[in-house]
């Protein structure tokens, strides 16, 4: 069985997220306490702001790591190829998906190894073609005409 892949730096990201949640909780407690003692407004605002920043940073880092996950990246590249007539280039993947060059190359190598994509050289550039996504021409024949022999 495949064991689930961990996200690089996941421990730090999770710790930062939990730390941000604790700061937000403390900020809310100080905000409630500020009703009795107005001097606590500043501490409450600082804790809420810091907690929001740390939690948002952890969330963005987690989302970026998920975006670079090999399975997710392969699916995104295939979806991009589906939208662009079953052909993509490395430059289009990097610009449209916003992923680093080396991650895009690794994903394309995986897709080629799986037989989903193949390389073609056109006009001095490499184009990755997805044969399974290309439209196929269907020719319909009338069954009645095939029965009539003239």
CATH number of the CATH domain containing 124: 1.10.10.10
Does residue 93 fall inside a structural domain? yes
Q: What is the pLDDT of residue 75?
A: 87
Q: What is the pLDDT of residue 3?
A: 46
Same-domain check for residues 80 and 124: yes
User: How far is 85 from 91, CA to CA, in rounded Å?
Assistant: 16
For 118, the 3-state DSSP assignment is strand
User: How far is 78 from 110, CA to CA, in rounded Å?
Assistant: 12
Is the Cα torsion angle 140, 144, 149, 150 positive or negative in sign? negative
Domain coverage including residue 47: 10-67
Q: Tally the domains of the chain.
A: 2
Does residue 54 fall inside a structural domain? yes
Same-domain check for residues 55 and 95: no
Same-domain check for residues 90 and 76: yes
Phi, psi of 110 (to 5 degrees): -65, -40
**Considering only CA atoms, which of 52, 49, 46 is closest in space to residue 21?**
52
Does residue 146 fall inside a structural domain? no
Q: What is the pLDDT of residue 25?
A: 96
Query: pTM score, two decimals?
Result: 0.62
For 68, the 3-state DSSP assignment is coil
User: How far is 53 from 77, CA to CA, in rounded Å?
Assistant: 31
Does residue 139 fall inside a structural domain? no
Does residue 138 fall inside a structural domain? no
Residuewise pLDDT in 10s, the chain (150 residues)? 344 555 666 788 899 999 999 999 999 999 999 889 888 899 999 999 999 999 999 999 988 888 888 788 888 888 888 888 788 888 888 888 888 888 888 888 898 888 888 888 888 888 888 887 766 666 677 666 666 655
- Residue 33 · residue 40 · CB < 8 Å: yes
């Amino acid at each position: 069985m495949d064991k689930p892949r961990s996200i690089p730096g996941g421990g730090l990201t999770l710790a930062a997220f939990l730390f941000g949640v604790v700061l937000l909780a403390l900020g809310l407690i100080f905000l409630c306490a500020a009703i009795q003692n107005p001097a606590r407004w500043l501490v409450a605002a600082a804790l809420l702001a810091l907690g929001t920043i740390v939690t948002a940073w952890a969330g963005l880092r987690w989302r970026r790591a998920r975006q670079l996950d090999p399975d997710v990246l392969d699916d995104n590249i295939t979806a991009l190829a589906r939208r662009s007539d079953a052909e993509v280039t490395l430059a289009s993947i990097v610009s449209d998906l916003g992923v680093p060059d080396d991650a895009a190359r690794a994903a394309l190598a995986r897709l080629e190894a799986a037989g989903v994509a193949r390389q073609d050289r056109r006009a001095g550039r490499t184009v990755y073609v997805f044969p399974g996504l290309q439209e196929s021409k269907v020719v319909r024949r009338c069954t009645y005409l095939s029965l009539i022999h003239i």
